[in-house]
Structure 1
């Protein structure tokens, strides 16, 4: 075992400390996020339902104010954030959840996605409340600023600065997006025969640099095109699979629901599928992790809560719609079962489902996978650049140092074993969630006042 393997194992063991419940080891960090989702849902008065229609009105530009602070439209901010969340977590991640927790994990991913909407709205609203607008019009924002500025205003300046640095440091690791490079190579290699992972990684890094080295306006413009395109291609592919196996859909849905409440070993079946669903749902939607706050902070608006409502659409699109569609597709195709799929894992499970339609159909998946991975990596590169500048100071030099180094490291994703990458990324993501969720608890009163005030004003017209 190498030093890298030992380091990842130690990090994973620390982050995923667990307690036995009903014969299943439930990680404390999973409970941390689950409680935060329930708390924000109740504390804000179920914003995922009360504010859902308003969210669509905002993102459609109904209240657009061109003179408001910010660098991109609220739709463009959502597209950039979605490019970071709608990714291979929706394709390979769902396959991993099925392998870990069975079909019942899909049901719990959907439930968690609904509750995650309020958590996402909370962190983004706070991000807009404590963002900084520079004299030249540029905007800085993210959980690191929420922690440092918000907690300073609450009377905890040292704690805020410490937690802000803690978050920014682990953001650098979490933004590397090695999983996307790894799984996109696996699919592209199987379709076009590009077997050399290092060559693929280098080409991928160069392609990312073409967009990432530009400004946030250029990134937002690119993702506004990529996100609808990749979603259309992938969803169309899933619908073709479901259409050719329409008779199996009712049975697949029934299996997902019944397995979600499997009472085997006391509550072991339920908890096992819930834990698997939670880990993959968090990685997919990033609710509670706070990364999307960095993109939403760029939105042109004077109302923090309005962007918070826009942000709740992320888990809805990402987890409730796309992940559920993927899960049903894989169960219908039957390629998820480790007992019958010949040891397939990750993206290979989804590729086998596409191949069941026609031998050439995995090409469609390869195109979607590349677009998913590419857009996610671009967004993550921007997130990492903001965290890097929070630590080392803001400036064009610091920004370029991070972005060039980021692109240089991407080829590692095609070389390192997928299991190692999943363990590392899960660990870093959940470490980021600790200070981010803590900020929501400590700033809960101003958060509720902001959301309640906005919805009240909109309710009065």
Structure 2
């Protein structure tokens, strides 16, 4: 007990200091976040129209590509399979944004936020296609092995985009800015937020204010940090292997649990859907409520599926393929699975159960936990397992994103990798001890800042992607394989 008190007294000042810095810095970003939401929505709409509604007309084709219908046995570069790349990307996006993030959106923006989340999920598929296609096209290979991918993502296509405009120095600056924001986003979204919400749910199911885990965030964070460290030391292949096993299990488990809760409240389904549509399109509180639901829905949708941020392009860049457009098709499925299906499921559980009515102020996983408990009393324990898996899988994937950007900034050195991985794990411990309101503001600020340079690059290279898409379909007409 004395040791516990000593550790508590040591960790708490550090966590509070970090939280204070985070809080004050995020005040400066508040207006920028609202601008970036508009920035992301416009990009999603633009690419959807520019590419001829590729998110709709190529949906079934994307599924065929994922299951290998067009693959050949030719020698191709890359380190992981299409399925592993999608699962690694989804392990980063299907995280607590789908559970705590949706709850935050509804607690602040009302039920109407759920509608805008679903719409944004469909539109975001087009943006995801563009950034992943470019990420693979401009990825960097090892000098001694053309089949080994050492780095991929927006850093590389941003440099190329500005070089074409004869602004190489600007290209290096923009690429570096993206990488820096991604490192901050990895620490915030991938470490601080995930650890915080996983710990909060663990406290809830073990007794709340009477929980033996209360005020022991550092201990929970240390446990998670060790588990994360055991995987990330193996690089993308270990991360992809773990994600390929965890993501399908946790997704199915969560969907089944959500359907059961909705089934228990089946009589409330029509009223809940009516409420969501009414608050999204005709809010009784007026235009302010409509904009509140719209902003919160879009904000949590983007935080959830990451389309436009460029992060998923880093994971997909390690895929084994010589045809970038083909993996862009597979990547499109990510926002649909993550946001349109899973976030909508969470929102329906919260609205149908009526748990949001008693919400006061900003709430995260606690609100979702109450909603699940309204169906079956022991379901919060199931949710706790899902929360832990969601948080864990997100941590390992985002750690990779941050690592690639760190090595881009400081060079491919073993010492750089080791220092980054240690710091990432330490922030997991800090995250479990900090306040949600401060963490979520910092996380949004850093993650959304990635979208500014990324989408500029997407606009510049959009004609190139459109030409590659046409060539892709011409190739498919001539051959049955890629």
TM-score, reference length from structure 1: 0.94
Say which of 64, 68, 73 aligns to 1:57. 64
Matched, 1:396 2:414: yes
1:190 corresponds to which residue? Answer: 204
Cα distance, 1:90 vs structure 2: 0.3
Cα 1:324–1:460 change in 2 (3 A) is farther
Cα distance, 1:15 vs structure 2: 2.9
User: May I ask how many residue pairs the two structures share in their alignment?
Assistant: 452
Query: Per-residue CA shift, 1:181-229, capped at 9, x if unaligned?
Result: 0000111122244331010000110010111111211111110000001
Cα 1:459–1:93 change in 2 (3 A) is farther
2:9 corresponds to which residue? Answer: none
1:210 corresponds to which residue? Answer: 230
Cα distance, 1:64 vs structure 2: 2.7
Q: Tell me, what secondary structure is at the counterpart of 2:76?
A: coil
2:402 corresponds to which residue? Answer: 384
Counterpart contact for 1:61–1:75, Cα < 8 Å: no
Q: How do 1:36-435 and structure 2 match up within 5 A?
A: 36-66=43-73, 67-134=75-142, 135-136=144-145, 137-139=147-149, 140-176=151-187, 177=190, 178-192=192-206, 193=211, 194-195=213-214, 196-264=216-284, 267-337=287-357, 340-341=358-359, 345-435=363-453
Cα distance, 1:28 vs structure 2: 1.5
Q: Distance in 1 between matches of 2:334 and 2:110?
A: 25
Cα distance, 1:264 vs structure 2: 4.8
Query: Per-residue CA shift, 1:152-209, capped at 9, x if unaligned?
Result: 2443211111011001111111001211100001111222443310100001100101
Cα distance, 1:269 vs structure 2: 2.7
Cα distance, 1:79 vs structure 2: 0.5
Q: Which moved more, 1:185-194 or 1:290-299?
A: 185-194
Counterpart contact for 1:44–1:452, Cα < 8 Å: no
Cα 1:82–1:223 change in 2 (3 A) is same
Kindly report the root-mean-square deviation, in angstroms, between the aligned alpha carbons of the 2 structures. Answer: 1.9
Cα 1:451–1:11 change in 2 (3 A) is farther
Q: Distance in 2 between matches of 1:452 and 1:76?
A: 27
Q: Distance in 2 between matches of 1:336 and 1:449?
A: 47
Cα 1:49–1:458 change in 2 (3 A) is farther
Q: Tell me, what secondary structure is at the counterpart of 1:411?
A: helix
Counterpart contact for 1:109–1:319, Cα < 8 Å: yes
Q: Distance in 2 between matches of 1:155 and 1:295?
A: 29
Q: Distance in 2 between matches of 1:130 and 1:341?
A: 47
Cα distance, 1:138 vs structure 2: 2.4
Counterpart contact for 1:65–1:300, Cα < 8 Å: no
Q: Distance in 2 between matches of 1:3 and 1:347?
A: 24
1:21 corresponds to which residue? Answer: none
Q: Tell me, what secondary structure is at the counterpart of 2:161?
A: helix
1:22 corresponds to which residue? Answer: none
1:17 corresponds to which residue? Answer: 31
Counterpart contact for 2:109–2:296, Cα < 8 Å: yes
Q: Distance in 2 between matches of 1:263 and 1:409?
A: 40
Q: Tell me, what secondary structure is at the counterpart of 1:90?
A: helix
Q: Tell me, what secondary structure is at the counterpart of 2:450?
A: helix
2:5 corresponds to which residue? Answer: none
Q: Distance in 2 between matches of 1:14 and 1:378?
A: 29
Q: Distance in 1 between matches of 2:460 and 2:42?
A: 15
Counterpart contact for 1:172–1:388, Cα < 8 Å: yes
